């Protein structure tokens, strides 16, 4: 018992040793001669062929295994940002490994990351991004599409904008620290589908999904007044790249008819300045299943065609600066439907009814729409649409007086692809790929000139089965000027039997497909958390995130030095009346202070600064009883505020395993009874 | 434009078609002759050797790829349940693919799963599991160890118990639907480390980490009275297998000295009836960094040895039924420290200071402890401990009068393994594997007789480097009667450079290691969400979860038919005073009712029953503005209650993509102004 312990007399040296990174430690049994095994050096127990045989892999499965594996310590080639749907977050996956690298909380709290879990700045972001007016602070959102910011129509690796279908909001994530910087509750919208960037991320463009009586008092009108008083809206939100925030004063909206405006796409090249929005429910159905009226699924499926909205948004932007052309409604300038019509800002093109996806080929020459009840992909020529507008080749007007262009004057191709077509993406070689919900397939087809010669244009060239009920699909850089191709991910809504039974709620299923050859090859299945609506994929090199904060005492929300940072040695506890402020620091492996004495009823404000600069040296601050957990990343200053209504002893401790003496990184909040 | 659309006249047929699963749909372009590519049938563009060369894989990396790949549609061999730490959840991973299969929310809400997001039953579970007494409802926990329930000392695939270090709580998850059934706030404890099952899951045994003055008025005593008034506690919680709940009336506690009681392990076989608990801080340090006292990391590292608590818990159980031996404290019967001592329920064995892990070999003959400042693994013989107790081979008593057994009389082996040893697991072949935080290694060693002959006992036989700072490690069935071996997972606390920079907060790193051969082989790296403290691994066949609920109208929390289920055709909206109750159904693709008219100030109660029985046919209920999202799984009845304080039009919709007409599955909550 004498020789084998790290003796008390050596305690100081021991502590120094265990407070540093493991890499600096000696190998204590270097003399034992035991070899260190790694994947790179171990004596392998079997050959490649033996393993293939033992695991009963087919040759195609073995090839897929070798295509998707990323060896320990090596990096994936691409990063995919995928929506978490009503989980309220964004997921980051590596491609080809399909490992879930990170989840970025936006609309929902994440106690691990200290997001909305008593941390002051994130609480404010969630509160500021709620409806207000006596409704609760929202702690979820239905995050639909993550959109990577653009410079000259290409991903620039700086920001992600996300939308919330459940409340018509946009969130902004910085790719510097992968944290949310702001949530903007767009006025006059109760919902949206996504928020698109313009080609230099100057504006975010968002359309309402559910029309709303936003001009009425209290935002209320009976559903019987749907046609008269409910209206759709498109929002053009000015974005400030420096702060990661929307600038309401420079933003505007355009009133639209009360159709459900769904997905949209912005033009570029020949279609520069145009915005294309799909619509459903031009029937103006409102449901009423208990009132012997048809459900929306029937009511909104009566007409043969809905309307692709073609909006000259650059002209609308000019108009929005003319005070005579706009009215402020609930704090934002709105171009009325009448003005939009009178000034020729909007035209309709018939599209196969109840469409979901609208996509743009890389050069901007064609708009690709899929009416989900029509077993074809519809391709519109931008040149033809522009000519039809200029020639006034109308087939009539809708009931609001908006001109409808002749379908035949705009359509370029109508490709028979399969049942339930939804969305299309593009590779670098002139091919389109369309998802089919009902067929559960991805169909590959050729884009027309200038991508392929006319004889090779608009042809289906391959099809792959996916599992099951695919919604979106994505390929690197699709819908930008610069697609990379190589991989495609099918985002399947149902997994059914693809995984062991895990209870009634099934995961959705991401399938990685190799599109580098002439034929698509399904490589792997990956279950998901949440509901991954859409994603964006970029090369890993574009992600140039910080590994620690640039300055000690950093305010992550404001992306600047914190006003309440504390330097080491300057820690204090300050009482002013009933408010006690703790100016503290954290480092391996203690809090300063670690004893905080207060009285029942006090307000206690904690400001913790992580004074470490080592990569990965994060500390947590978990406070029993008062529902607080902070993640104090290297260099960060994080705050929390609680009113200690109940007396008692409330231990606090580091919740992020930081060192060999992490378990000892503890403290006490002592609340003396009044 | 005439032939290519699904015409209005066929709308009914179209709707029927798109409301069924995709598998029933015809291939519309079956005549086009395009081959369907899958991993199993595609013409491969390259050979195995070509891919290995192109991707620059070493032979060992290629073998690892082939060992971990699970082909599309096939299942993993094992399931690992891993803690999410201060994320408050449990993660399910497949082994060997290491795909994240599911996250099970326990202490923190998950809006995707409708957990704690306005759903009535889960809100009640979170409220009931909080501290009460004027402190907030907790919406996070620091979930440390998921423990699979046992029958005869082996996993039975029925329940998972989890602990919350931040509040001393236990949560119970059913493996039938992978949902949380209850959260129990254990009295007299402000924290814990884990909750262990007895060998037939009759009791959950939990020890406090932070001592607390739980006998004092208001649970308060100044930190200066730490030695006199703060006490540790071990809890013995009776578990009801039918309801998934703790039965407080049949539970009891044992008071302990104010050391920090950390991890514990229950005996079996020769150690049946004994409970072994590690302790740290026998120095009774309380920190005081701003008061010129040593931080806990120094203060709690002064003595050479801490005390392994050996508790005869079966004898304590008998005693707890004697009213003269217990006192009710805050609603639970407590055996005092005096009684525990007088009745010989507790003995101490010296252990290397500041230990973290304590583990039991499969047969129960040896207890394995790692003092994290001692570069050895300490193995105690249960037979020796029992003999020392019976012979009263004491080296003294602690200051509370608890006898301390002689170290030399209990120790069996002291194996030099490396710096910072923490935890040990076992395979089916008589080997132990110990994690080393400071060395960042897993070290393999041989257990003594009867597992190996004396000449081959207690020898280090292999070592593998991990990346970095490993905490727990796990192998299938370790710490049960029946380990399976084959794989080992290293749960590494730091990842540093193993992944692309993703901001200052790094993921932790799970590493899969092949232990099927004489030498360990590192196979793969997987980043994690949250903080995976510990895990349990079982064969996939043990998971026999429901794929839909057994009856339509199921209450998941109560695991029985819901009292508020609504049958199809029986939907209604009932007003009683200011309360409006919606008895509704959901199915592809509509709500009944889909129009709900209420007045400002009403309380609105929604009960939604999913009348579908198809696997994976989940619907969501997302309600704008009132912070509600429900996941209504096939067969489930889910409820939400809101007070509509603010007038307006609040659309609701299905948040889980359910069908081709999912986008049309909408409704309106119309709140008329007062």
**Which of A22, A114, A353 has the highest number of chain B CBs within 10 A, making it the mutation to test binding with B?**
A22
Q: How distant is the Cα of B520 from the closest Cα of chain A, in angstroms?
A: 6
Contact A521 B372 (CB under 8 A): no
Inter-chain CB proximity B34 and A460 less than 8 Å: yes
Cβ-nearest to B499 among A35, A101, A658: A101
Mutate to test the interface with B, among A83, A548, A663 (most CBs of B within 10 A): A663
Q: Give the confidence band of A42 by pLDDT, cuts at 50, 70, 90.
A: very low
Please answer yes or no on whether A87 and B111 come within 8 Å at the CB atom: yes
Confidence check: pLDDT of A20 > 80: no
β pairing state of A195-197 and A179-185: unpaired
B42 pLDDT higher than 90 = no
pLDDT > 70 fraction of chain B, expressed in percent and rounded: 93
Q: What was the pLDDT predicted at B84?
A: 97
Residue B354, min C-alpha distance to chain A (Å): 9
Which tens digit of pLDDT belongs to each residue from A226-254?
Answer: 999 999 999 999 999 999 999 999 999 99
Measure in Å the smallest separation between the Cα of B555 and chain A Cα atoms: 13
* Average pLDDT estimate for A323-348: 98
Rounded Cα distance between A325 and B599, Å, is 36
**Residue B90 has what pLDDT?**
98
Q: Over the stretch A97-156, which tens digit does the pLDDT of each residue have?
A: 999 999 999 999 999 999 999 999 999 999 999 998 788 999 999 999 999 999 999 999
pLDDT at B14 over 50: no
For residue B166, the chain A residue with the least C-alpha distance is A624
Average pLDDT over residues A71-91: 98
Instruction: Kindly tell me if the per-residue pLDDT of A21 is higher than 90.
Output: no
Contacts of A667 in chain B (CB under 8 A): 287
Kindly identify which residue of chain A lies nearest to residue B48, measuring between CA atoms.
A63
**Complex ipTM value:** 0.94
The predicted pLDDT at position B624 comes to: 84
Could you give the 3-state DSSP secondary structure of residue B2? coil
Range name among A360-374, B42-56, B543-557 with the lowest pLDDT average: B42-56
> To the nearest whole number, what is the mean pLDDT of chain A?
93
Using a CB–CB cutoff of 8 Å, tell me whether A357 touches chain B: no
Residue B60 to residue A75, Cβ atoms within 8 A: no
> If you ran DSSP here, which 8-state letter would residue A531 be given?
-
**Distance, first Cα to last Cα, chain B:** 50
Which pLDDT score is estimated for B625?
Answer: 85
A253 with A275: CB under 8 angstroms? no
E strand or H helix that includes residue B390:
helix B382-391
> Is residue A13 very low, low, confident or very high in pLDDT (cuts 50, 70, 90)?
very low
Q: Give CA–CA dist B331/B328, Å, rounded.
A: 6
| Mean pLDDT for chain B overall | 93
Please report the DSSP string for A576-616 in residue order. ETTEEEEEEEEETTEEES-EEEEETT-EEEEEEEE---STT
B479 pLDDT tier (thresholds 50, 70, 90) = confident
What does the pLDDT average to over A39-43?
40
Contact A290 B593 (CB under 8 A): yes
Q: Which residue has the tokens 């700086």?
A: A158
* Res. A354: pLDDT tops 80: yes
A242–chain B nearest CA distance, Å: 18
Give B 394-423 residues with CB within 8 A of chain A.
407-408, 411, 414, 416-420
CA distance B634 to B550: 10
CB contact under 8 A, A664 and B280: yes
Question: Of the candidates A108, A549, A655, which has its C-beta nearest B85's C-beta?
Answer: A655
- State residue B190's pLDDT score: 93
* Min distance B266 CA to chain A CA atoms (Å): 22
pLDDT grade, residue A32 (50/70/90)? Answer: very low
Name the A residues in 360-399 with CB < 8 Å from any B CB.
371-376
Neighboring chain B residues of A648 at a CB cutoff of 8 Å = 218-220
| pLDDT the model gives residue B342 | 97
Could you read off the pLDDT of B65-109 as tens digits, one per residue?
A: 999 999 999 999 999 999 999 999 999 999 999 999 999 999 999
Distance from CA of B339 to the nearest CA of A (A): 26
CA gap A39, B631 in Å, rounded: 43
Residue B309 · residue B348 · CB < 8 Å: yes
Least Cα distance to A571 among A592, A587, A602 occurs for A592
Q: Can you give the pLDDT at residue A49?
A: 95
Is B324 touching A (CB cutoff 8 A)? no
- What is the nearest CA distance from B316 to chain A, expressed in angstroms? 28
| Residue B660: per-residue pLDDT | 93
A605 touches chain B (CB under 8 A): no
Do A381 and A365 touch, CB atoms closer than 8 A?
yes
Candidate from B28, B373, B663 with C-beta closest to A262? B663
CB atoms A135 and B625 under 8 Å: yes
Looking at the complex, does the CB of residue A63 fall below 8 Å from at least one CB of chain B? yes
Name the closest residue on chain B to residue A87, using Cα atoms.
B112
Residues 137-196 of A with CB under 8 A from B: 137-142, 165-167, 176-179, 190-191
**Contact state of B531 with A29 under an 8 Å Cβ cutoff:** no
Residues whose CB is less than 8 angstroms from the CB of residue A131 and which lie 6 or more positions away in sequence, other chains included: A138, A167, A185, B625, B646
Q: Does B439 touch chain A (CB under 8 A)?
A: yes
**Smallest Cβ distance to B462: which of A18, A34, A84?**
A34
Q: How large is the average pLDDT for residues A251-275?
A: 97
B35 secondary structure, DSSP code: P
Bridge-based pairing state of the strands B305-312 and B274-280: antiparallel
Q: Do A437 and B5 touch (CB under 8 A)?
A: no
Of A111, A133, A465, the CB nearest to B36: A465
| pLDDT higher than threshold 50 for residue A670 | yes
pLDDT of residue A3: 37
The pLDDT > 90 percentage for chain A reads 92
What confidence tens digit (pLDDT) does each residue in B153-164 have? 999 999 999 999
Beta bridge partners of A631: A620
Q: Among A64, A88, A417, select the one facing B111 at the smallest CB separation.
A: A88
Residues A446-476 pLDDT 10s: 999 999 999 999 999 999 999 999 999 999 9
DSSP state of A251: E
Q: What is the pLDDT of residue B534?
A: 97
Supply the pLDDT for residue B133.
Answer: 79
Which of A508, A584, A649, A656 to mutate to test binding with chain B, by most B CBs within 10 Å of its CB? A649
CB contact under 8 A, A35 and B463: yes
> What residues does B586 pair with on adjacent strands?
B591, B610
- Beta bridge partners, B93, equal B80, B100
Query: HEC profile for A632-651?
Result: ECCCEEEEEEEECCCCEEEE
What's the pLDDT tens digit per position in B278-297? 999 999 999 999 999 999 99
B609 - beta bridge partners?
A: B585, B637
Instruction: Report in angstroms the alpha-carbon separations of B455 from A142, B361, B447, B450, B452.
Output: 63, 19, 11, 12, 8
Listed residue (A276, A348, A341) closest to A313, CA to CA? A276
Please report the residues numbered 521 through 550 in chain A whose beta carbons come closer than 8 angstroms to any beta carbon of chain B.
521-527, 529-531, 533, 540, 543-549
Q: What is the pTM of this model?
A: 0.94
Give the DSSP letter string of B303-339: SSEEEEEEEEHHHHHHHHTSGGG-EEETTEEEE-HHH
For residue B594, give the nearest of A191, A288, A589 by CB distance: A288
Q: What is the arithmetic mean of pLDDT over A262-280?
A: 97
Under an 8 A CB cutoff, do B60 and A44 touch? yes
Q: Cβ contacts (< 8 Å) between A261 and chain B: which residues?
A: none
Strands (E) across A241-375 are located at 245-256, 260-266, 274-280, 305-312, 327-329, 332-335, 346-352, 355-360, 366-371
Least confident range of A155-159, B131-135, B632-636: B131-135
What mean pLDDT do residues A263-268 have? 97
Task: For residues A89 and A591, give the distance between their C-alpha atoms in angstroms, rounded to a whole number.
Answer: 31
Which residues share a beta bridge with B21? none
Dist CA A618 CA A288 (whole Å): 53
Most A CBs within 10 Å, among B111, B473, B509, to test the A interface: B111
CB within 8 Å: A220 and B673: yes
- pLDDT tens track for B185-198: 999 999 999 999 99
Which of A1-5, A364-368, B248-252, B481-485 bottoms out in mean pLDDT, i.e. has the lowest?
Answer: A1-5
> How many angstroms away from the CA of A649 is the closest CA of chain B?
6
- Closest approach of chain B CAs to the CA of A322, in angstroms? 31
Residue numbers in A near B651 (CB within 8 A): 190-191, 210, 212
Size of interface A-B (CB pairs under 8 A): 770
């Amino acid at each position: 018992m004498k020789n084998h312990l790290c003796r008390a007399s050596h305690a100081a040296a021991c502590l120094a040793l265990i407070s540093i990174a493991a890499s600096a430690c000696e190998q204590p049994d270097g003399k034992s001669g035991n070899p260190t095994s790694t994947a790179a050096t171990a004596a392998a127990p079997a050959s490649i062929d033996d393993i293939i045989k033992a695991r009963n892999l087919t040759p195609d499965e073995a090839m897929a295994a070798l295509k998707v594996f990323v060896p320990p310590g090596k990096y994936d080639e691409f990063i995919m940002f995928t929506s978490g749907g009503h989980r309220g977050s964004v997921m980051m996956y590596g491609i080809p490994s399909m490992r879930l690298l990170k989840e970025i909380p936006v609309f929902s709290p994440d106690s691990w990351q200290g997001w909305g879990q008593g941390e002051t700045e994130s609480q404010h972001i969630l509160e500021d991004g709620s409806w207000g007016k006596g409704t609760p602070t929202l702690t979820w959102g239905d995050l639909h599409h993550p959109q990577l910011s653009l410079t000259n129509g290409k991903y620039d690796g700086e920001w992600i904008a996300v939308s919330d279908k459940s409340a018509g909001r946009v969130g902004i994530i910085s790719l510097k620290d992968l944290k949310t910087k702001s949530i903007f509750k767009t006025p006059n919208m109760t919902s949206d589908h996504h928020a698109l960037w313009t080609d230099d991320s100057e504006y975010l463009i968002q359309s309402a999904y559910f029309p709303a009586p936003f001009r009425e008092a209290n935002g209320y009108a009976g559903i019987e007044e749907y046609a008269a008083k409910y209206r759709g809206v498109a929002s053009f939100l000015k974005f400030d790249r420096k702060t990661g925030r929307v600038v309401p004063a420079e933003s505007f909206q355009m009133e639209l008819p009360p159709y459900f405006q769904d997905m949209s796409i912005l033009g570029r090249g020949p279609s520069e300045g145009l915005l294309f929005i799909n619509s459903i429910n031009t029937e103006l159905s409102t449901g009423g299943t208990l009132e012997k009226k048809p459900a929306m699924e029937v009511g909104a499926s009566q007409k043969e065609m809905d309307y692709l909205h073609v909006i000259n948004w650059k002209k609308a932007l000019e108009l929005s600066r003319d005070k005579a052309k706009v009215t402020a409604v609930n704090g934002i300038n709105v171009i009325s439907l009448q003005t939009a019509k009178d000034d020729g800002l909007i035209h309709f093109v018939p599209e196969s009814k109840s469409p979901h996806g609208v996509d743009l080929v890389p050069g901007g020459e064609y708009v690709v729409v899929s009416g989900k009840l029509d077993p074809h992909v519809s391709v519109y020529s931008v040149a033809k649409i522009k000519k039809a507008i200029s020639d006034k080749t109308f087939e009539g007007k809708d009931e609001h007086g908006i001109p409808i262009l002749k379908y035949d004057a705009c359509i370029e191709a109508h490709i028979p692809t399969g049942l339930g077509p939804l969305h299309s993406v593009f590779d670098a070689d002139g091919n389109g790929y369309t998802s089919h919900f009902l067929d559960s397939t991805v169909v590959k087809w050729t884009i027309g000139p200038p991508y392929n010669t006319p004889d090779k244009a608009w042809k289906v060239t391959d099809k792959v089965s996916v599992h099951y009920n695919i919604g979106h699909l994505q390929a690197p850089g699709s819908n930008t000027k610069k697609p990379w191709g190589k991989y495609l991910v099918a985002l399947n809504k149902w997994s059914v039997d693809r995984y062991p039974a895990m209870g009634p709620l099934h995961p959705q299923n991401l399938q990685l497909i190799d599109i580098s050859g002439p034929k698509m090859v399904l490589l792997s299945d990956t279950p998901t958390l949440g509901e991954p609506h859409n994603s964006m994929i970029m090369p890993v090199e574009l992600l140039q995130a910080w590994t620690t904060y640039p300055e000690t005492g950093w305010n992550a929300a404001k992306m600047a030095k914190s006003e309440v940072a504390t330097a080491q040695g300057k820690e204090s506890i300050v009482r002013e009346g009933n408010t006690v402020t703790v100016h503290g620091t954290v480092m391996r492996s203690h809090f300063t202070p670690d004893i905080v004495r207060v009285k029942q009823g006090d307000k206690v404000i904690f400001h913790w600064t992580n004074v470490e600069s080592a990569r990965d040296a994060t500390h947590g601050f978990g406070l029993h009883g008062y529902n607080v957990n902070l993640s104090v990343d290297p260099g960060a200053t994080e705050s929390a505020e609680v009113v200690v209504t109940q007396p008692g002893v409330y231990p606090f401790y580091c919740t992020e395993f930081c060192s060999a003496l992490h378990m000892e990184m503890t403290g006490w909040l002592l609340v003396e009874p009044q």
